[in-house]
Amino acid sequence: MNPVTIVNQIRSGERTGYTSTEPHDLLLICEQALGQGDTEIAEMFYTELNTIEQSIYQFRVAQLGNDAEMAQAHLTTALQNSRTRELRDHLLEARIRMEWGILRASIGEHEQAGVDLRWAMERLGALSEGHRWHGLCILNMAKWHQNRGELGMALAMHSEISRNGPHHIEIIAVSRRNAAELLIAKNHIQSALRNLWISHHGFRQTDMLDAAIESGLHWVDIGLSNVSLQAQSMDDAVHNAAPRSVGDPLPKPAIHPDDLSIMVNWLNEQKLDEIGESLVSEAQERLQS
């Protein structure tokens, strides 16, 4: 079940509703609709949510409305209900603890935020490894470390999300894009190029075109410094990737012109801003020289 697809199909009239097949999938659809601004679609399913899910829904509404007080109130209610004998739901409890971690980080309670995020990440991993919420929690845990200047720990968190699953493709793509930013900060440019390549294609697979364009342009931008026929193809680089041994020098960053041509041809079919068009034009000149 892809919430983006479901919401878009309802908006276009391709479908008129959705029958729940998995726990909490209606909540995922509601939250996706809220995030896209399709409030009417979100409200279609509200009455079908359970008590805890409705509190999470109201939390999200308050959060999107920048009402911090109401957001905390609804999240507190959701957490209390998730722990009652009648409504006990371990997966929702872990999801709520993740949201508390994010909320605490936003109001400056950084240490407690880390406690909540780690608890939620470990519980979600034990309950349903690869669940969307598990992937999101790992991403937030990585960002928590990054905000503390712990880039190595942040990268270690991203390494928990394998490109081969079980996490969803969009989670893998976001993880690889964020990992690339960290690798650039550590001057591991070839590894960053590899991660941007993975993220670009992951975003394309899930029709997240704006993100695919962003990752693609970033890949072109840092790859143009060395376009070489001797460079390993990106697909081979991804397939053959392995940890470096201690003391091994960093590989010299380089991209193959065939990969650059593939990327440029795709980007030329997209709607780019002026900066993007300029970068693609520069890449085309490089290919023709």
Q: Which pLDDT tens digit goes with each residue over 83-101?
A: 998 888 999 999 999 999 9
State the pLDDT at residue 22. Answer: 85
Residue 118 and residue 127 in contact, taking contact as beta carbons nearer than 8 Å: no
Residue 256 and residue 229 in contact, taking contact as beta carbons nearer than 8 Å: yes
Residues of the chain with pLDDT under 70: 244-247
Sequence-distant (6+) residues with CB within 8 A of 238 are 163, 194, 197, 198
What b/e sequence results for 249-283 when a residue is b if at least 16 CB atoms lie within 10 Å of its CB, and e otherwise?
eeeebbbbeebbeebbebbeeeebeeebeebbeeb
User: How do residues 176-198 score in pLDDT, each as one tens digit?
Assistant: 999 999 999 999 999 999 999 99
Domain boundaries, the chain: 161-240+251-289
State the pLDDT at residue 207. Answer: 87
Q: Burial, 83: exposed, middle or buried (Cβ in 10 Å; 0-12, 13-18, 19+)?
A: middle
User: In angstroms, what CA-CA distances link 227 with 171, 185, 214, 218?
Assistant: 30, 21, 20, 15
The distance from CA 2 to its chain's CA centroid, rounded to whole angstroms, is: 14
State the pLDDT at residue 23. Answer: 85
Backbone angles phi, psi at 255, to 5 degrees: -125, 150
* DSSP result, 228-244: -TTSPPHHHHHHT--PP
- The predicted model scores a pTM of 0.88
Sequence-distant (6+) residues with CB within 8 A of 250 are 187, 188, 189, 190, 244
In whole angstroms, give the CA distance from residue 255 to residue 228.
Answer: 6
